[in-house]
Every structure is written in structure tokens, then in C-alpha cells.
């Protein structure tokens, strides 16, 4: 067989693989929009559920997810970035840092339901937070920490070593070097990792199942020690726990959830491309 | 000897002003310095001194220890955990390992690297980077420092209309002079050059050398170079390193016309290295 023919076959296979990857995404979107769009209107987005969730809106679930996601960022972003800075810039290569790194990799592989059980045992019961936004956010934060740490580490390591030397050679301290040279240049990568983690947190059901999610709570939470509804759990409830729910309501909820995650990712892409355009190396 | 040098050296530490030093007092004293990377010996019992306001050229083939020696002068070797140093290096009579902070040493003894390394920011910010980190916030003062430093590095005329454009968009030679300006902005006493012209064309090289001549009035400079001719052009004195040992150090004219050691003779005439 001629090399050119081989190449054509290879390119065709590669192209097919790429197409196969996007087909499910398109199908999901088409089905969700087809069946769910009829449910979506301003009332659906901005009012409380009524009649045992068979009518009315999903406002508290949307807000609950927003609260949970905000709490998760607030905890996971600083913790993850600081840990990554320590591991990349300060930690010596020894068995202790290797242990930490192995722990992080393993943490990433733990099933989300286990995080849910851990959150219940640790935050809800041991720390007596009760089922609350605080406990839920902390659980989600721990779940996405490995994602944020790994992405931040990669981003920090991709900043050329020579930048650090150039700064240190001027008598600038190590921390100032990290703050003024390394971090600004690592920020796009860190943000990407964070938003990937956040969209995972926004969509997970299992970790919030025992730690925060309310089955039916037609009001907004009053404090971080209050329970709240959340979109993924609400969707699960609508689909399996409540009889005689209009199908469009279920698909509408799913569409809102997917739309929110899509929007988050879009924000990440915009921030990143904006920062890349300013990047000069 | 170092005590004597200390008394003779009138650089005012308190005011931070760098007045030209008329006498040739010892700025840096290197005593019995050895450097090891793990088990590999990079520098072997080296002793000599560098006088104020002179340019010392350091030549030698690859692996002769000249870069390790240079990086020891401002404690950049500290960044490599495998590196160990014995002996002492004194700046104005102070032991840089025992009596000074690494940041303090690096601010007084700054370094220009082989490859131009502008930071990914504007020309202005590049030069203002050091002073800003050392606590100068006043905008007028910063602008003054930037102008002064760029002028001293012979770059001002070429970039004065585009100070806000990226330092990385300059040509190689301009980038290297930007790096020199950046080191001047922190008002050092000694400037170390690690093969600063290895990536530059002859015209850019000449401009960098011009800058070095001009800077002699205020600074002590040490130039590590692979270019023997450059060492001869620029250096007041020249040191020749070979496999971690200081073979010979002396007036540049003498080294290049009548070296005492046969190995120096062989190296500068291009017989090896």
C-alpha cells in the first residue's frame, strides 16, 4: 500500500473518531431542547414549585445550585491554588510530597457517592453542621480539589523557569516572584481547571444527596446552615420520586442545568482566550 | 586584606548612591571557593579578588566552572539543591553566605543571562519591575528610574516612543539591553554577565559592549564569555578557568600577549576549547 493511501485511511479514521465524539453531545442537546423548551418561560425560572413540584417553577433549585457552586469556589479555589503553589514552588522532592501527590491522584478517582457519604459523616454529623449549604459546599469542594490542584500545578509548571530566575536575580524575594510573575502567567490555566471543576460540582447529585439537598423546599434558604434545593437532585426527584410529572418539566429542568454548565464553560473559554491574546510567550 | 579593602571602599551604603570609586579597592574577594553539584566538582579551591569599577573577563571552555562561579557570586546556586559551596565570597568585606540575605546579595550583585529574558510585560514594567518589588510606588520616581536605566543601557532612544509595548517584541539585542536596564534599575553595585552576547549578531554585540564600557564608571562588572576576542576587547583583567580551576588571572593585555601558563596560551590561540 502506498504511504499516501495509508495516510488517507488514517485521516479518515481520525476524522470519524472526532465525529463520533460530538454526536452524543448534539443528540443530547437536540432531545433536551425538543422536549424541554416548551416548559421554559420566565415563570418557570423565577417562581416556586407548586402542587408537589408538578407545577410552578424551579427558582429555588436554580438558586440553590448557584449558592452551592459559589460556596464551592470560595473554598476550593484558594485551597487548591495554595496547595499547588506549595507543591510546585516550595516542596522538596521527598517521600512526603510524593505521598501528597499520590493522595491527590487517588482523590480524583474516588466515586462521587463516597464523597457524599464522607460529607455526611464528617461535616453533617461530626462537625454538626447538619444538612446545610455549608456541608454541601465543603463536600463538593473536596470532591473538585484534585481537579483544581492538578490543573493549577500544570499551569504553574508551564511558566518558564527562566522567568523565575530573571526575577530572583534582581533580588526579588521568592514569594514576590510567585505573586508578580508566576501566578499572573499561570492564571489562564488555573481558571480553566477551576471552571471544569465547578461545572462538575454543579452537575453532581450524589455528594449533595446526604449533605444539603432538600426534597421539596419551596422557599429560599435563610443562611448557610439552611438546606436548599439543587438542580441535579431536583431533576432526579422529578424523574423518579414524583408520579405524574409532565415530561416537559423534567426536560426543562435538565435543559436549565445543562445550560448553566454550558454557560460556565463558555465564561471559562472567554476568559482564557482573552488572557491568551495578552500572553506574550 | 579584606578589612583594608573595606576601609578604602567609599561606596556609601546608607544613601544608596553610587559615586564613582576612584581607587581600585577590592569589591569582591573570593577565598578558597569550591563548588560541588552532587558528586561533581564544578570549581576547585579558587581564590582571587575583583576590583571596584573594573571589568573582569572570565574565559574558559565548556564545563570549566565559569558559569557556576558566576552564579555563586549572587547566590543563584542556592536555587539548586544539589549544589554545595565551601570557602567564602566577600562583597565589600561582608561574607555573602553568612552575613547577608540572598535577596540582599542578588540586589547588589545582579545578573544578565545568556539568553535575553524579558519578563512578559511592557518595556516600562520590565525596567520598573525590580524597583516596584523593592517598594518604590511613586509614579514620577519610577518613570525617572526607567528613563535613567534605559539611557544607561543605550536603549532609550530606540524605545522611548513605545514604552508600553511588550518587551518581548524587541529584537534580541534590544531585549538584552532591556535586561541590562532592568538590572540597573535596582541600583546594583556589581553586574554579572553570563555569556550575554552568545545569541546576538555583531552589531548588537557591539552595542552591548558599548553599554558595558559606559557602565564602568559606576559599576563593577564580571563578564563570562565564550568569545575570547570579546574578553580581550572588554576586560580590564582576564581570568582563565579550566576544569574547575583558575589557571591564570591578570591584566588582559598580559594574558593575551604573554600568558604565564601554556594552557592559557593554547586556549586563546584556539588550539583547544
Compute the nearest-CA separation of A77 from chain B (Å).
25
Of A166, A176, A180, the CB nearest to B117: A166
Compute the nearest-CA separation of A90 from chain B (Å).
11
Share of chain A above pLDDT 90, in %: 44
Decide if A222 is inside a domain.
yes
Looking at the 3D structure of chain A, how many domains does it have?
1
A-chain residues near B166 (CB < 8 A) = 280
Give Cα A194 to chain centroid, integer Å.
7
Residue A31 pLDDT level (bands cut at 50, 70, 90) = very high
Helix (H, G, I), strand (E, B) or coil at A3: helix
- Do B120 and A185 make contact, defined as CB atoms within 8 angstroms? yes
A-chain residues near B118 (CB < 8 A) = 166
Compute the nearest-CA separation of B175 from chain A (Å).
13
**A280: its cell numbers:** 506574550
Mean pLDDT within B56-69:
87
- Whether domain B2-12+21-268 has CATH 3.40.50.300: the reply is yes
- Do A171 and B168 make contact, defined as CB atoms within 8 angstroms? no
What does DSSP assign to residue B77?
G
Distant-in-sequence, close-in-space partners of B236: CB < 8 Å, separation ≥ 6: B54, B55, B56, B251, B252
B-chain residues near A183 (CB < 8 A) = none
Compute the nearest-CA separation of B157 from chain A (Å).
23
Q: Quote the pLDDT of residue B80.
A: 83
ipTM of the complex: 0.81
A-chain residues near B130 (CB < 8 A) = 170-172
Which secondary-structure segment (H or E) carries A5? helix A3-36
Q: Looking at chain A, which residue has its C-alpha nearest residue B111?
A: A169
Q: What's the CATH number where A234 sits?
A: 1.10.3720.10
Decide if A261 is inside a domain.
yes
Q: Chain A to chain B, count of Cβ pairs less than 8 Å apart?
A: 68
Distant-in-sequence, close-in-space partners of B267: CB < 8 Å, separation ≥ 6: B59, B60, B61, B228, B240, B242, B273
Q: How many Cβ atoms sit within 10 Å of the Cβ of residue A48? A: 16
A-chain residues near B105 (CB < 8 A) = 171
Domain definitions of chain B by residue range: 2-12+21-268
Weakest-pLDDT range from A71-80, A262-271, B7-16, B33-42: B7-16
Structural Rg of chain A based on CA atoms: 22
Q: Quote the pLDDT of residue A87.
A: 92
Determine the structural domain holding residue A168 and report its residue range. 76-278
Q: Quote the pLDDT of residue A279.
A: 65
3-state secondary structure A159-183: CCHHHHHHHHCCCCCHHHHHHHHHH
Mean pLDDT within A134-142:
94
Q: Looking at chain B, which residue has its C-alpha nearest residue A186?
A: B120
Decide if A68 is inside a domain.
no
- Do A169 and B183 make contact, defined as CB atoms within 8 angstroms? yes
Angstrom distances, CA of residue A278 to CA of A192, A281, B121 = 16, 9, 9
- Do A280 and B169 make contact, defined as CB atoms within 8 angstroms? yes
DSSP percent split of chain B into helix, strand, coil, nearest 5: 40, 25, 35
Inter-residue contact A141 to A80 (CB < 8 Å): no
Compute the nearest-CA separation of A171 from chain B (Å).
4
Decide if A197 is inside a domain.
yes
DSSP B153-196: TT-HHHHTT-TTSBGGGS-HHHHHHHHHHHHHTT--SEEEEEST
Mean pLDDT within A140-145:
93
Residue among A72, A54, A44 nearest A134 (CA)? A72
**Residue A84: pLDDT over 90:** yes
Distant-in-sequence, close-in-space partners of A95: CB < 8 Å, separation ≥ 6: none
Query: What whole-number distance in Å separates Cα of residue A14 and Cα of residue B111?
Result: 49
Amino acid at each position: 500500500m502506498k504511504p499516501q493511501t495509508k495516510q488517507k485511511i488514517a485521516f479518515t479514521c481520525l476524522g470519524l473518531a472526532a465525529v463520533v465524539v460530538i454526536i452524543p453531545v448534539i443528540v443530547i442537546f437536540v432531545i433536551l431542547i425538543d422536549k424541554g423548551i416548551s416548559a421554559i418561560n420566565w415563570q418557570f425560572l423565577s417562581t416556586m414549585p407548586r402542587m408537589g413540584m408538578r407545577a410552578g417553577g424551579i427558582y429555588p433549585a436554580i438558586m440553590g445550585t448557584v449558592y452551592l457552586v459559589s460556596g464551592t469556589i470560595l473554598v476550593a479555589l484558594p485551597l487548591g491554588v495554595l496547595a499547588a503553589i506549595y507543591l510546585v514552588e516550595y516542596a522538596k522532592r521527598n517521600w512526603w510530597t510524593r505521598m501528597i501527590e499520590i493522595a491527590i491522584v487517588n482523590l480524583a478517582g474516588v466515586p462521587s457517592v463516597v464523597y457524599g457519604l464522607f460529607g455526611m459523616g464528617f461535616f453533617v454529623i461530626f462537625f454538626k453542621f447538619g444538612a446545610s449549604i455549608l456541608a454541601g459546599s465543603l463536600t463538593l469542594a473536596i470532591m473538585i480539589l484534585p481537579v483544581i490542584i492538578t490543573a493549577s500545578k500544570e499551569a504553574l509548571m508551564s511558566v518558564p523557569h527562566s522567568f523565575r530566575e530573571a526575577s530572583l536575580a534582581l533580588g526579588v524575594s521568592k514569594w514576590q516572584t510567585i505573586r508578580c510573575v508566576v501566578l499572573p502567567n499561570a492564571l489562564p490555566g488555573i481558571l480553566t481547571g477551576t471552571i471544569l471543576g465547578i461545572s462538575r460540582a454543579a452537575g453532581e447529585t450524589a455528594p449533595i444527596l446526604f449533605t444539603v439537598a432538600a426534597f421539596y423546599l419551596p422557599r429560599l434558604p435563610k443562611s448557610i446552615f439552611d438546606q436548599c434545593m439543587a438542580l441535579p437532585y431536583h431533576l432526579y426527584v422529578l424523574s423518579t420520586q414524583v408520579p405524574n410529572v409532565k415530561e416537559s418539566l423534567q426536560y426543562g429542568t435538565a435543559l436549565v442545568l445543562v445550560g448553566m454548565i454550558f454557560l460556565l464553560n463558555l465564561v471559562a473559554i472567554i476568559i482564557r482566550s482573552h488572557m491568551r491574546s495578552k500572553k506574550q510567550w | 586584606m579584606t578589612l583594608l579593602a573595606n576601609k578604602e571602599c567609599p561606596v556609601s551604603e546608607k544613601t544608596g548612591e553610587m559615586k564613582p570609586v576612584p581607587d581600585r579597592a577590592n569589591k569582591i574577594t573570593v577565598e578558597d571557593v569550591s563548588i560541588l553539584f552532587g558528586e561533581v566538582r564544578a570549581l576547585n579551591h579558587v581564590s582571587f579578588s575583583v576590583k571596584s569599577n573594573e571589568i573582569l573577563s572570565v574565559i574558559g571552555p565548556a564545563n570549566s566552572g565559569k558559569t557556576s562561579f558566576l552564579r555563586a557570586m549572587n547566590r543563584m546556586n542556592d536555587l539548586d539543591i544539589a549544589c554545595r559551596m565551601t570557602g567564602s565570597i566577600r562583597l565589600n568585606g561582608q561574607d555573602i553566605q553568612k552575613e547577608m540575605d540572598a535577596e540582599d546579595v542578588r540586589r547588589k550583585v545582579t545578573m544578565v543571562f545568556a539568553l535575553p529574558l524579558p519578563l512578559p510585560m511592557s518595556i516600562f514594567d520590565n525596567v520598573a519591575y525590580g524597583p516596584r518589588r523593592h517598594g518604590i510606588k511613586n509614579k514620577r520616581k519610577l518613570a525617572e528610574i526607567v528613563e535613567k536605566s534605559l539611557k544607561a543601557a543605550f536603549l532609550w532612544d530606540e524605545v522611548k516612543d513605545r514604552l508600553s509595548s511588550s518587551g518581548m517584541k524587541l529584537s534580541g539585542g534590544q531585549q538584552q539591553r532591556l535586561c541590562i536596564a532592568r538590572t540597573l534599575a535596582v541600583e546594583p553595585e556589581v553586574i554579572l554577565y553570563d555569556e550575554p552576547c552568545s545569541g546576538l549578531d555583531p552589531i548588537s554585540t557591539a552595542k552591548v559592549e558599548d553599554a558595558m564600557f559606559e557602565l564602568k564608571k559606576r559599576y563593577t562588572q564580571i563578564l563570562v564569555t565564550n568569545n575570547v576576542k570579546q574578553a580581550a576587547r572588554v576586560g580590564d583583567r582576564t581570568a582563565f578557568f579550566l576544569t574547575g580551576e583558575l589557571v591564570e588571572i591578570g591584566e588582559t593585555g598580559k594574558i593575551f600577549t604573554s600568558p604565564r601558563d601554556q594552557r592559557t596560551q593554547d586556549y586563546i590561540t584556539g588550539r583547544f576549547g
